[in-house]
Structure 1
């Protein structure tokens, strides 16, 4: 593993820690100001840090406790850009409600090295599609 690979994995670990702590400021520090996010909810893209944080704010609103995990993360690095992909699952206890197990999704991060720090410039979350029904398949596990 290279130093950059270790730094990228640490950056993703910081995202997980920030989400579990419900620490909006810590999460914000991990993204570029012009981040573009292709999330599972509409619209097709969320552009800019404020839009990305608004998505995480929804998570903090709906969940009393947040857990986020990533499995099978693989990174490819080329100069000052990198991408990493794996499987992610958001779960936790809903506000005033039950514990929910969440669902596994496919997650991809595009990162840029800026002033010696790897920051998330793009992320994409997707679920597989059952072409025959047009429905997302949300019961798969890595």
Structure 2
């Protein structure tokens, strides 16, 4: 198995953890000191507990959670990996209403450890309209 396929498989575990609403499984994917630039304020979330707090919010909103990761490209060199693509959280609200979610630009930085790969940084972002200053959330890959 190549390093690129190991990293791709590791990032795929995010999908499994979200669909299972399993914070413990997600915790194993991140470094304890992960820095996340997520779509929700503040500008950064530092540490795995802060990252998991964001995922816990998702779990509280949705009865069922889905996550897609498209067009993932991974580059590995010297024990570090960078992946980028497009991600979308979607699901079903209480009462059964489906929510398609929005596509975001997703970037991941991983470090190789003795126990495998861990995410040390991630970023989810949306482009914005310069004229209005508002995020553009209806784009699709």
Q: Which residue of 1 aligns with 2:99?
A: 100
- Deviations for 1:55-97, whole angstroms, at most 9, x for unmatched residues? 0000011110000000000011111111100000000011335
Correspondences of 1:1-142 after superposition (within 5 Å): 3-96=2-95, 98-142=97-141
**Long gaps (5+) in structure 2:** none
The TM-score, its normalising length taken from structure 2, stands at: 0.97
What is the DSSP-based 3-state SS (H/G/I as helix, E as strand, rest coil) of the residue aligned with 1:138?
coil
2:31 is paired with a residue of what secondary structure?
A: strand
Q: Displacement, 1:98? A: 1.3
User: Superposition RMSD on alpha carbons, in Å?
Assistant: 1.0
**Matched residues, number:** 141
- Could you list the structure 1 runs, at least 4 aligned residues long, displaced by more than 4 angstroms after superposition: none
Aligned partner of residue 63 in structure 2, secondary structure: strand
C-alpha deviations, 1:19-49, integer Å up to 9, x for none? 0111111111000000000000100000001
Greater CA drift, 65-74 or 108-117: 108-117
After alignment, is 2-11 or 83-92 more displaced?
2-11
Query: SS at the partner of 2:18?
Result: helix
